[in-house]
Amino acid sequence: NAGVTQTPKFQVLKTGQSMTLQCAQDMNHEYMSWYRQDPGMGLRLIHYSVGAGITDQGEVPNGYNVSRSTTEDFPLRLLSAAPSQTSVYFCASSAGTSVHNEQFFGPGTRLTVL
Partner 1 sequence: GQNIDQPTEMTATEGAIVQINCTYQTSGFNGLFWYQQHAGEAPTFLSYNVLDGLEEKGRFSSFLSRSKGYSYLLLKELQMKDSASYLCAVREEAGNNRKLIWGLGTSLAVNP
Which residues form the interface with partner 1 (CB under 8 A)?
Answer: 40-45, 90, 98-100, 102-108
- Nearest-angstrom CA–CA distance, 44 and 48: 11
CB 89 to partner 1: min, Å: 11
CB 99 to partner 1: min, Å: 5
Closest-CA residue to 70 (of 93, 45, 36): 93
Q: How would you label 42-51 residue by residue, b for 16+ Cβ within 10 Å and e otherwise? A: eeebbbbbbe
Q: Which is nearer to partner 1, 79 or 100 (CB)?
A: 100
CB 98 to partner 1: min, Å: 5
Q: Which is nearer to partner 1, 14 or 40 (CB)?
A: 40
Q: Which is nearer to partner 1, 17 or 105 (CB)?
A: 105
User: What contacts 9, CB < 8 A, 6 or more positions away?
Assistant: 107, 108, 109, 110
